[in-house]
């Protein structure tokens, strides 16, 4: 049985009308967890796995001795929602929370037209010229022959809107536009007013019992409204040597991380195509069986994160190079977001196609994988296409 289908969704909550400040959301496979309020929370600087286990155990004890307002969607055990930063040693801590109550919800339908907002202030950081210079510097670094094979360079878009963000509406639109992806929103402030949110197409890892599934994406092309041209673009991406190289590096690193943990591991020889409303991606579905059933979904997420899809390869060298080229801290962008329970089951997505929101201010982030053969102008365009995921949901076309 699919681990996100233990109980039927509540159709009354499909449009996220009950989403309140301080609530949380994570969706997968067309169904979602809406966490209402917060029973327990932690922002550990180290020992994330141990902290998560402690929170879940404490939540089980609390639930055993008290009446809750509504049953959990799981019906048996508490569930933890979490957000891991890109850099575990950076200023942003891991955020772990057990919702006070949990509701299973279905994807929204028949949304009204997006209310177009106005942008009062807009700032790219770096701007196009600065980003393309960074890509050029990355290509020079990759050409030295010292073992660095890939770098992922990102940029941000800071916006000030004419009105505060309507979070339930934006989340509903993100989910509706990417029904098979992972729409998410977690509060990143104590007051529950500031949020990290997005709609990631990329599964970092899913674990159900001993079964493990990973679906890395790397290699991207913008979609076209004409069906014939869109199909041509998809096939061109599938045959692109540059994009195939970028993708192969990611798959190779994930296989190396998973192979020692798995009794069996199936890694397809060639990537397939995965699509969102705006983009085509190269994707490879990797499946395996854990050797040790004690390894949890969160353990696997920590072991895999960050993949070369958001950092580079080798990881440590790429991270140092990125720190010297990007003029900002990534925070939770390119981190991991997802859920786990006390049995070790769970699903975690790569925290991309995202924004950090505070009232009328938003910071959107997007990156592109740089390998030999990358073209600075095209990489800038790719990041722009990725930013459109959130801009579309905001009605900022």
Q: So which residues are the catalytic ones?
A: 150, 202
Q: Are 244 and 236 in contact (CB under 8 A)?
A: no
Q: How many CB atoms lie within 10 A of CB 345?
A: 20
Cβ burial of 269 (10 Å; 0-12, 13-18, 19+) is: exposed
Residue 30 zone, left/alpha/beta (φ > 0; ψ -120 to 50; rest): left
What is the SS3 assignment for 247-276? HHHHHHHHHHHHHHHEEEEECCCCCEEEEC
Residue 315 host element (H or E): helix 315-325
Rounded to 5 degrees, what are φ and ψ at 222? -75, 140
Residue whose entry in the numeric block shows the structure tokens 């990290």? 196
User: What token pair was written down for 279?
Assistant: 């983009």
Q: Are 391 and 364 in contact (CB under 8 A)?
A: yes
CA 338 from chain centre, in angstroms, equals: 8
Three-class SS state of 371 = coil
Rg of the chain taking only CA atoms, in angstroms: 20
């Amino acid at each position: 049985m699919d681990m996100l289908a233990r109980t039927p969704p509540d159709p009354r909550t499909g449009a996220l009308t009950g989403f309140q400040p301080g609530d949380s959301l994570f969706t997968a496979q067309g169904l979602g967890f809406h966490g209402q309020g917060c029973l327990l929370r932690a922002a550990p600087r180290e020992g994330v796995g141990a902290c998560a286990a402690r929170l879940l155990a404490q939540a089980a004890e609390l639930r055993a001795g008290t009446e809750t307002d509504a049953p959990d969607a799981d019906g048996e055990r508490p569930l933890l929602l979490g957000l891991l930063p890109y850099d575990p040693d950076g200023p942003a801590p891991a955020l772990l929370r057990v919702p006070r109550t949990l509701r299973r919800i279905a994807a929204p339908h028949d949304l009204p037209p997006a209310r177009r907002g106005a942008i009062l202030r807009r700032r790219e950081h770096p701007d196009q010229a600065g980003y393309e210079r960074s890509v050029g510097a990355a290509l020079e670094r990759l050409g030295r022959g010292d073992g660095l094979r890939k770098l992922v360079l990102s940029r941000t878009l800071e916006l000030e809107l004419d009105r505060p963000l309507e979070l339930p509406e934006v989340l509903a639109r993100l989910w509706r536009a990417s029904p098979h992806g992972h729409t998410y929103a977690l509060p990143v402030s104590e007051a529950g007013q500031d949020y990290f949110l997005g709609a990631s197409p990329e599964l970092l890892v899913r674990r159900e019992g001993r079964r493990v599934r990973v679906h890395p994406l790397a290699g991207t092309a913008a979609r076209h409204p004409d069906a014939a041209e869109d199909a041509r673009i998809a096939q061109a991406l599938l045959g692109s040597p540059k994009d195939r190289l970028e993708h192969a590096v990611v798959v190779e690193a994930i296989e190396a991380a998973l192979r020692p943990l798995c009794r069996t591991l199936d890694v397809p020889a060639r990537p397939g195509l995965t699509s969102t409303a705006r983009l085509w991606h190269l994707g490879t579905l990797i499946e395996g069986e854990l050797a040790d059933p004690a390894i949890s979904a969160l353990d696997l997420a920590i072991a895999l994160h960050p993949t070369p899809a958001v950092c580079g390869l080798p990881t440590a060298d790429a991270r140092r190079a990125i720190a010297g080229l990007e003029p900002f801290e990534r925070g939770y962008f390119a981190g991991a977001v997802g859920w786990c329970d006390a049995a070790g089951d769970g699903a975690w997505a790569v925290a991309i196609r995202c924004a950090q929101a505070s009232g009328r201010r938003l910071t959107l982030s997007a990156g592109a994988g740089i390998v030999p053969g990358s073209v600075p102008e095209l990489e800038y365009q790719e990041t722009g296409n990725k930013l459109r995921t959130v801009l579309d949901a905001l009605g900022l076309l």
